[in-house]
Amino acid sequence: MNSSDRARWAAAGVMLVNGVWSTWCAHAAVGGLRQRAGQRESVRFEPGRVATDSYIVVVVPMLHEADRAAGCVDHWCKLLGDHPELRLCVVTTARERHERLNGPHSWDAVTATASFRHGAAAGRAELLHYPGVNRTYGEQLGWALDVLSSRPAPPDYLYVANIDSRLSPHGCAEIVELAATGVPVAQQSSVFFGNLDDLGPVATAEAFYQSRWSFEHEIFRYLVGSGHLRWLPGWVRSIWYQHTVGHGLLIATNTYRRLGGLPRPRFGLEDAALGVSVREAGLHVHPFSTLECGDAPRSARELARQRSTWIRGPLCSSEYARTRRGNLIAAQGTYGGLKWALAVPAQVIALIVASPRQRVVATTGWLLALYGPLIAMLAGLRRLDFPSDYRPRRRDITYAMMYYPVAAVSCWAGGLRGVGLLIGDLARGRTPIQPRTRETE
């Protein structure tokens, strides 16, 4: 066997190993969440009991969300009714008026909502308005978190939600329960089934593809980095890459201040940067056992904007690190971003140059990496906690299976577009303006 043949066999083997690993990661993530849920039941917390005079603020940033602000406010005000420790803070921005002078504007929709007015009168809901024109989501959110955490009587915890974040009553209760344990940072991951009724077949497959990513990568990282998978050596777990997400994030106010607030990287993303900061400080991101439910992109344009923005998070990891430990953690993020951008063309090249037997091994690995994590997620989904109104139907699962390869390719294409935009911004030294992904017009 010559060197080129050995290289082709090695490439085929790597694809097979990657398929097995990806599938196992998703399976372990499902099992880890179920184990966490079992531990939570065994403790038997009484929901809504933290400590006297303690409270948690749910922070919801909005940008051009007038069409669904009322639904979001009603959802949270209903959940707040069962938990006296929770408060709601909606954060709007002057960027809306800058980009759309005559509205409709989010702040008008929020203040016109009866549940918000009732909550505000009871001292349990408020609206903060960022007076500047923010370039990024993190600028608007970080400003609000700084205002809340610097008050004379600051909240004990901050929980960040998206406009489309939907929690079950158990999911909301877990926010209070985790705060009662004193956890510094916790992350509630998401499935993206909130608008399946409005999606076509390809967009449905995209929703499942992104949900699968939450298990295979995100939740698995939280389980490893927080020590729930103990078969890994402690030193490996201590430097395992973890990122935070701009929705479902629960952070203690004193931890937020200790970390210096929400990072504002010039080219990267604030949520990925916060994850590196947490790990640099010797802390970890603890996983929720429940899931929130968000919306998936409805159009190819929304999807491309979303993916081209998201890839900045891992690719710019070197911008976040400040210590040797941070560089080790950030390097993993950079590798993940490069793998996202280069995996599809690398796999295609490997399949083209492979011999027939090598191609069988490589194709098996590719199919396993593609469908294995999805099947592992679907097998455990019925036993996981997220809002029951949004559980996928058989038709949705059928569409996901049929159009799943299209979703994988479009994810890569969106990421590749993001790489091009990032290179352009770096070359010109221009700080980007983060686009809004959702189409409202």
Query: In this predicted model, what pLDDT tens digit does every residue of 363-416 receive, in sequence order?
Result: 999 999 999 999 999 999 999 999 989 999 999 999 999 999 999 999 999 999
Which of 18, 38, 10 is closest to 365 using CA atoms? 18
Tell me the per-residue pLDDT of 420-434, one tens digit each, with 9 for 90 and over. 999 999 999 988 888
Average pLDDT rounded to a whole number, residues 117-139? 94
What mean pLDDT comes out for the span 24-38? Answer: 94
DSSP 29-58: HHHHHHHHHHHHHHHT--TT---TT--EEE
Is the pLDDT score of 47 beyond 80? no
Percent over 90 (pLDDT), the chain: 80
Residue 45 pLDDT > 80, yes or no? no
Question: pLDDT at position 43, please?
Answer: 65
pLDDT at 218: 96
Q: Is the pLDDT of residue 188 over 70?
A: yes
Q: What integer is the mean pLDDT of 186-198?
A: 96
Between 356-381 and 394-428, two packed helices, what is the crossing angle to 10 degrees?
110
| Confidence label for 334 from pLDDT (cuts 50, 70 and 90) | very high
Q: What is the pLDDT of residue 15?
A: 93
Give the model's pLDDT for residue 46: 55
Backbone angles phi, psi at 102, to 5 degrees: -95, 5
* Type of residue at 385: D
**pLDDT tens digits, one per residue of 323-332:** 999 999 999 9
Mean pLDDT across the stretch 293-298?
Answer: 94
Please state the separation of Cα 162 from the chain's center in Å: 10
State how far the alpha carbon of 301 is from the alpha carbons of 7, 41, 86, 307, in Å.
39, 42, 36, 10
- Per-residue pLDDT band at 439 (split at 50, 70, 90): low
Q: At residue 97, does pLDDT exceed 50? A: yes
Which residues, other chains included, contact 377 with Cβ-Cβ below 8 Å and sequence gap of 6+? 26, 30, 211, 212, 215
pLDDT at 240 over 50: yes
Structure tokens, 413: 């294409």
Which residues are CB-neighbours of 79 under 8 A, at least 6 positions away? 86, 167, 169, 172
Q: What amino acid occupies position 417?
A: R
pLDDT of 191 higher than 60: yes
Report the C-alpha gap between 436 and 422 in whole angstroms: 16
**Element housing 186 (H / E):** strand 185-187
Q: What does the pLDDT read at residue 299? A: 87
- Res. 40: pLDDT tops 90: no
Instruction: Give, in degrees to the nearest 5, the angle at Cα 330 between 418 and 156.
Output: 100
More confident residue, 243 or 50: 243
Average pLDDT (272-281) is 96
